[in-house]
Amino acid sequence: MNSVILNYLVKGFIKNFLVVVAVFYCFGIILNLFEEVEFFKNLEVSILTPIVLTSIYIPSLIIKILPFVIFISSLWFMLSIKNNKDLLTIKIFGFSNIKIFFILAFCAFLIGWIVLFFVNPITSTMSKYYEQVKSNYSRDVDHLINFNRDGLWIKEKLNNKHRFITSKKIDGYYLKDLTIFHLDHKSNLMDKITAEEAYIKDYEWVLFKVNVSKFNQGEIKNTYFDQYNLDSIYNLDKINNLFKNFDTMSFVNLSFNYSKYIEGGYNENFLNQSLHTLLTLPFFLLLMTGIASILALSNLKRRNNLKISLMGMILVIIVYYLKDFSLALGQIERVPLIVSIWAPIIALSLVTLVGVIQINEK
């Protein structure tokens, strides 16, 4: 009989979870489709383009709100078994509130790891494709920036010329092994600048050990400078902000290639934030199941379901706010970044532990 009840709890919980995910996916499709249609309305593309882009964008969005999804599915499932008196039957066969909680919490915890190792790599690839397609159709292509295994690539449109910048890596506030090309409006090469490094904390870059090659009617004139100033529309903060898209980095890829990203010049704080934020997901799902259990199993009365649901929504919103507030403190370096990411999990764990002990006495 225990195996039958265990099977019933697990299957019911997973079924509710998948239903809630499907509902959120459908709502996401409907809401985001308007934005994509607005983006493509003046471009000659098939109607399938915004539909496809929307369908591949929503899964990564669902992962972001997965704790909220798991909370709704957990609360819905536990209220439903309480209302149809299945909970009472389950308790008669020896399943306490805390045992029911551990079963559902383990399922949520397992779902979190499945998402990180199997779903997240797929959604990150889809997000990369989404970003590439949108950038190809973007009307603002005068200023482009790309960061890949070959280093940093920047395109700037100036008043009467185009500038292309390449660099092997970013090291702190410095670009290393810098090459800059200036082309006129007819794409003729005007000059080439090479530098050993460039200090880019501000919009006025300072280049060191510089060679400037001027091209004029087939003649090349080389000039050497120990230091050379160059105005740009980018500084280090602006460059880093352009790559703070967590969706395009999977947990698996980030875990195994962390050192390569650091060597390639990615901002260490950004990588740590991405990695640890993803790593907290299974624990966050477990705790959301705990909050749902505390609210739903605090008594066996069938009334007040609406009140419980509203209280749960408000509580989850508060948890999300505190989580974002803690992360903001880490981003502005009021507290260590990793501490700011894990502190809400630790605090919520203590609260959930007390609540779960109390419902076990019911």
Q: What is the pLDDT of residues 224-278, one digit of tens each?
A: 999 999 998 888 877 776 655 567 788 998 898 888 777 766 667 778 888 999 9
Q: Which residues pair with 214 in a beta bridge?
A: 191, 221
Taking alpha carbons only, the member of 158, 140, 303, 130 closest to residue 230 is 158
In this predicted structure, which of 37-41, 54-58, 63-67, 282-286 has the lowest mean pLDDT?
37-41
pLDDT of residue 110: 97
pLDDT value of residue 44: 80
The pair of three-digit structure tokens given for residue 301, joined into one six-digit string = 């009365």
- Which position has the higher pLDDT, 143 or 218? 218
Place of tokens 């702190």: 172
Residue 198 has pLDDT above 90, yes or no: yes
Helical packing angle, 305-331 and 268-279, nearest 10°: 160
Q: Where are the alpha helices (DSSP H) in the chain?
A: 2-40, 48-64, 66-83, 86-92, 97-114, 120-137, 236-242, 251-256, 258-263, 268-279, 281-296, 305-331, 337-360
Contact of 264 with 168, CB cutoff 8 Å:
no
Burial, 85: exposed, middle or buried (Cβ in 10 Å; 0-12, 13-18, 19+)? exposed
Highest mean pLDDT among 212-221, 265-274, 279-288, 294-303: 279-288
pLDDT recorded at residue 141: 45
Model pLDDT, residue 140? 45
pLDDT band at 144 (very low <50, low <70, confident <90, very high): low
Q: Whole-prediction pTM value?
A: 0.78
pLDDT for 243 equals: 58
pLDDT tens for 95-108 read: 888 899 999 999 99
pLDDT of residue 72: 95
- Least Cα distance to 9 among 119, 69, 85, 86 occurs for 86
Query: What average pLDDT does the structure give for the chain?
Result: 86
Give the model's pLDDT for residue 265: 62
Contact of 255 with 135, CB cutoff 8 Å: no
Task: Show the 3-state SS of 140-197.
Answer: CCCCEEEEECCEEEEEEECCCEEEEEEEEEEECCEEEEEEEEEEECCCCEEEEEEEEE
Distance of alpha carbon 254 from alpha carbon 274, whole angstroms: 8
Query: What pLDDT is attached to residue 160?
Result: 78
Q: How many other CB atoms sit within 10 Å of the CB of residue 359?
A: 20
Quick: pLDDT tens for 151-182.
Answer: 788 888 887 788 889 988 887 788 889 999 99
For the residues 286-297, what does the mean pLDDT come to? 92
Q: What does the pLDDT read at residue 268?
A: 77
* Main-chain dihedrals φ then ψ at residue 201, nearest 5 degrees: -65, -35
Bridge partners for 155 per DSSP: 144, 164
User: What one-letter code names the amino acid at 106?
Assistant: F
